Amino acid sequence: MRINEAYEHEPILPHPAEESCPLNGCNKIGTQCVDVSEPVILTPTASVGTITVTCQGTPSVVCVTDAAESSCTVTLTQKVCVAIPVRFGVSMAPGEASIACAAGSTGCACCC
């Protein structure tokens, strides 16, 4: 008896190509893209040093008499320099890493 006689209602299908499904199995590689995030937390730092104040030159003096000549306003103006040393910086600390499947992704077109 021939094989096709045993399956007379179904035609015999041709043998599949080896690359699609060999009899002894096949090796495949699955890929999945993921989004990996690693935040870095930056915190500003600033420290103020010793502040110095110095007078520059001599003060200017302006005297103004009021209209009634009953009083005078004396205004002294002095140039003052204030030096404020500040050391600026940034401290860094790693945050918690996270991972998530890429949205709508069933595989990657690239490999790592």
* Per-residue pLDDT reduced to its tens digit, 30-79: 888 999 999 999 999 999 999 999 999 999 999 999 999 999 999 999 99
The domains of the chain are located at 32-49+89-112
Q: Which DSSP category does 11 fall into?
A: P
pLDDT category of residue 7 using cuts at 50, 70 and 90 = very low
pLDDT more than 90, % of the chain:
60
Q: How far is CA 48 from CA 51, 56, 80, in A?
A: 8, 23, 19
pLDDT of 14 > 80? The answer is no
Query: Smallest Cα–Cα separation from 65: which of 74, 57, 76?
Result: 74
Query: Smallest Cα–Cα separation from 40: which of 78, 97, 2, 79?
Result: 97
* pTM tops 0.75, yes or no: no
Q: Torsions phi, psi of 60, nearest 5?
A: -95, 145
